[in-house]
Amino acid sequence: MQNLPELKTGRPRIEQGFLRPIPEIEIPFGLVEGAKPGPCLIVTAGVHASEYCSIEAAVRLMHTDPQKLCGTLLVLPILNVTGFRARSIYVMPEDGNNLNRMFPGQPDGSAGQRLAHWLVTEVFPKADAYLDLHGGDMSESLTPFTIYPGGHAPSEALAAAFGLPISVGSQSKSNTISAAGALGIPSVLVEIGCNGLWDEASVTAMMDGIGRIMHHMHMTEGATNPVIAPRLMTMSVPLAPVSGLWYSAKRLSDPIAIGDRLGEIRDVFGTVLATIVAEKPGEVLYQLTTLAVNAGEALVGIGIPVETTS
């Protein structure tokens, strides 16, 4: 099946199967149409194929009870399905590119560009809201936060409804949520979980946030946890200037001042090749945890409170 199933038939149901968005791959989908009419929430995971907490949450979400749902939930739990089988970090094996840098895609480009184009033209327009689930890849630790397309107020409000304490306004023009936000769809990227692990606490935190989103959209009834307004941030991400061995000097959530030493890259004999110094103040939201580092890779994500940037 290349096309999506009908999202609104008036018949409560769970439908599962596979789609072929591009000739190279088949991806799984789960559709839950609720017993009552309502909006359509689209949830993707596995853009980064080894961020397992997000994938497991999406897998569980496909079993939502239609009788307790108003509207339609469409879940694409593993977009980079070849990468999932290969336990790939960051990239799609078909083209070696990071799918979350390929949006809005191209109809005649690489596999990732064509998959992105399919999402932008065939999937996102059907959403009343869109969640893209991520987390710390096998090479990253992080403290939970949401990301929304910076300047898009409906997305900022949706991120607040997810209920994590920090929300980052992204300036990217090439990721999932920027492409969906450009279509006017409230869109949020969620980061929960570290190092590819999918412990129960992290998966539950992801599910709880999705539950708050569905409640916010009037897709479910009943009480949810109270939401505290998140601290709004932008992000500074120093990249590795050289390849080598990465020695971080900071821990998650550490406060960062301008000039702080974030870590250094050494060669295998211990010679310091580069010292990474903070150029912006903030706090550590994520960082690379592998000893191996390649030039151009992200070393640390520093969240910068919005009030200090204005």
At 74 the three-state DSSP class reads strand
DSSP annotation of 298: B
Q: What is the size of the binding site for Zn ion (CB under 5 A)?
A: 3
Regarding 132 and contact with Zn ion (CB under 5 A), the answer is: no
Among 134, 212, 216, 250, binds Zn ion (CB under 5 A): 134
| Closer of 101 and 126 to Zn ion (Cβ) | 101
Judged by beta carbon, residue 52 or residue 124, the one nearer Zn ion is: 52
Strand order in the sheet with 261-266: 272-277, 261-266, 244-248, 292-293
CB 310, min distance to Zn ion, A: 28
* Cβ distance to Zn ion smaller for residue 48 or 117: 48
Is the CB of 134 or the CB of 152 nearer to Zn ion? 134
Residue of 28, 48, 127, 248 that binds Zn ion (CB under 5 A): 48
Nearest distance in Å: CB 286, Zn ion: 10
d(CA 151, CA 135): 23
One-letter amino acid identity for 127? A
The interface region with Zn ion, picked from 63-71, 129-137, 228-236, 298-306 by CB under 5 A, is 129-137
Select from 111, 168, 127 the least CA-distant residue to 302. 168
Question: Applying CB under 5 A, which part among 7-15, 125-133, 134-142, 156-164 lies near Zn ion?
Answer: 134-142
| Helix or strand holding residue 14 (H, E) | strand 13-22
Contact predicate 238/299, CB 8 Å: yes
Beta-strand pair 261-266/272-277: antiparallel
Select 72 or 175, whichever has its Cβ closest to Zn ion: 175
Q: Which stretch binds Zn ion (CB under 5 A): 13-21, 42-50, 209-217, 230-238?
A: 42-50
Say if residues 209 and 24 touch (Cβ distance below 8 Å). Answer: no
Q: Which residues bind Zn ion (CB under 5 A)?
A: 48, 51, 134
